Amino acid sequence: MANVPPMPLEEAQERLLALVEPLPMQHVDIEGSIGRYLAEGLVARRTQPAADLSAMDGYAVTGDDMAGPWSVVGESAAGHPYPGEVASGQAIRISTGAVLPVGAEAVILQEDLARDDGRITLTGEPPEPKHKHIRRSGLDFVAGRELLAAGTLIGPAQAALALAAGHKHMPVCRKPRITVIDSGDELATDPETCEPHQIPASNGTMLLSMARTLPVTAERSGPIPDTLDALISAFDAAHRADVIVTSGGASVGEHDLVRPALEAWGATLDFWRVAIKPGKPILVARRERPEGTQIVIGLPGNPVSSFVTAYHFLLPVLRRLLGARHALPMSIVTRLGAPMRANGGRREFVRGSWDGQCVVPHSIQDSGALSALAASNVLIDRQAHAPQGEPGEEARVFLIENGGIA
């Protein structure tokens, strides 16, 4: 594959996601479903509201009697409906959310009425139209209607909707199991005792944190020495993982042993190298097993390259395994707040800061510069051979925050 040109980003993402199927479905309680994705469409089991309700505090009266005065003959409170029927000349005190009494067709606001003992008279304007302050049965949804499509992200609003629709459990996919493997003889486990010829092993923690922005079961292995046997042993130890992520050793140097270790372990290389900067030497492999395909994503060792490729490849795979309808990250269009140099022959993801109005690239763009990455909240998407950008021009950005997705 060394002579094969690097693959365009979207083609590589499509090819990777084609290897992945959502994991088996399970049912969990509503609170446990937050942050996960619906494995199948959610259908309402009840109608909401189930009866006509008052939208305001006031008095319920018949529709053919809007001039008054009225005699107050009872009350309908939320959870305590009036048991009888309202007739012409009668009014029922009613609170917001209470069931509209039988025979009532209008709710007059209490501030538009004067009350003297058991009688009320109109001092303001009657509702126009007369049903203005009434929430009709089924206003929100009716039983049997699909409320949420399969693949929808379950957040607070979706959880509340499911409960209102009569559900106390949600269908979701099993949580993916992921193992992050750090490899490299130069990596120091303890950053406080790091020698000059070493660097602290930071990629594993970064990638583990990115994975944990999603509901996964994740563990870290390493740092692993740069030997074939050590890498094969690490792969063996991760045999139950749905996804294995390596950091470092994915290029073509003498000590880049991820590819030969994967082949010796029994994995098949699917593709290698993507036409992006940073992150070109990413590789994707798969290993077939009785419980399903195991995906291996080999990320570059430079920390920014590792972050950018994990953002565009690892997180989409995890979302697909979780059953997400939209697995790929979403971008937005903003405007440049500073000039940008012309781009080279590879699509580049430039680290920058976005204030909600415009984006400014950071001056340091080296793939090993963690300080610029940590100061960024967006990746600016610069197409290959893009001309110099000027302030005020449109710029497409991907939102990032604290090692995850915004």
Which domains does the chain show, CATH number per domain? 9-23+174-321 (3.40.980.10), 26-47+144-173 (3.90.105.10), 53-135 (2.170.190.11), 331-405 (2.40.340.10)
As to burial, measured by CB atoms within 10 angstroms (0-12 exposed, 13-18 middle, 19+ buried), residue 4 is exposed
**Residues 374-396 pLDDT 10s:** 999 999 999 999 999 999 999 99
- Spatial CB neighbours of 264, under 8 Å, sequence gap ≥ 6: 228, 232
pLDDT of 2 over the 80 cut: no
pLDDT of residue 66: 83
How do beta strands 177-183 and 217-224 pair?
A: parallel
For 162-179, the pLDDT digits (tens) are 999 999 999 999 999 999
Q: Give the pLDDT band (50/70/90) at residue 187.
A: confident
pLDDT digits (tens, 9 = 90+) for 352-377: 999 999 999 999 999 989 999 999 99
Give the chain's radius of gyration (CA, Å).
30
- Cβ–Cβ < 8 Å for 53, 101: no
Farthest-apart Cα atoms in the chain, separation: 95
Report residue 339: phi and psi, to 5°.
-65, 155
Closest CA to 288 of 234, 239, 219: 239
Instruction: Please determine, for residue 278, whether its predicted confidence score (pLDDT) is greater than 90.
Output: yes
Question: What DSSP assignment string belongs to 300-329?
Answer: -SSHHHHHHHIIIIIHHHHHHHTT-S--SP
DSSP 333-369: EEEESS-BPPP-SSEEEEEEEE-SSEEEE-S---TT-
HSE-CB at 169 with a 13 A cutoff on CA atoms is: 7
Residue 212 has pLDDT above 70, yes or no: yes
Residues sharing a CB contact under 8 Å with residue 254, sequence separation 6 or more, in sequence order:
none
